[in-house]
A and B are shown apart, each in its own frame.
Chain A
Amino acid sequence: QSVLTQPPSASGTPGQRVTISCSGSNSNIGSNSVNWYLQLPGTAPKLLIYSNNQRPSGVPDRFSGSKSGTSASLAISGLQSEDEADYYCATWDDSLTVVVFGGGTKLTVL
């Protein structure tokens, strides 16, 4: 079991807005900023959101992140077929002294 909890799957149709949740605890999300990654099959993860809500250059503004208490969310608006991928949340855990990841959410574009 992962320290951070994500739904295993999510889906939406082109143009829709979908959100992916990430639940943790006081020692991880509650105390540190959250990062989000996208991973296509057979490739390395790609940074989508850092420090809760910051987008690296080149990431479309369709992707946004937020954090409240011990939970975080990734929102994708204007869903596109190329958004179909696995999404992971991650943060530092002060108690475990490791970076912890969510189990990943497989997003399907119907």
Chain B
Amino acid sequence: QVQLGQSGAAVKEPGASVRVSCRISGYTFTNYYIHWVRQAPGQGLEWMALINPGGHTTLYTQKLQGRGTVTMDTTTSTINLDLSSLRSDDTAVYYCARESHSGTYSFDYWGQGTLVTVSS
């Protein structure tokens, strides 16, 4: 079955960097776009980025101001979100999600979420 398994929680100091990983199984890795969505404590959902594993293309929200990078490892079917120059307002649960139907931006499978806490 389709599974998106994410890395564990992380606690980082302001200014540091973090990597959140999303390991994919149960389908052909390159056939579906993967998106990153975050949710600050008690807040709504916020879209961060996407990657097309088949075309190696990425797209980011301008709100990241160049601090985010999405990469992939085809040997392990893993998608990584790297976030640098962390700030307190980056504290959130980060989800990876699969786009179910190309062009619909609808997400049918989600990872379990990774809590990133930025605190001194």
Contacts and interface: CB of A to CB of B under 8 A. Distances in A.
B120 interface: no
Contact of B106 (A2, A44, A51): A51
Given A45-B110, A97-B59, A50 B44 contact: no
Contacts of B106: 33, 35, 47, 50-51, 90
Given A47-B100, A91-B105, A98 B45 contact: no
B47 A88 contact: no
A92 interface: yes
Interface residues of B, number: 23
B44 A103 contact: yes
A82 to B, nearest CB: 19
Contacts of A50: 100-101, 104, 106, 108
Interface of B: 35, 37, 44-47, 50, 59, 61-62, 95, 97, 100-101, 104-108, 110-113
Given A33-B106, A45-B95, A90-B106, 11 more contacts: A35-B106, A37-B45, A39-B45, A44-B95, A44-B97, A44-B110, A45-B37, A50-B106, A90-B105, A101-B47, A103-B44
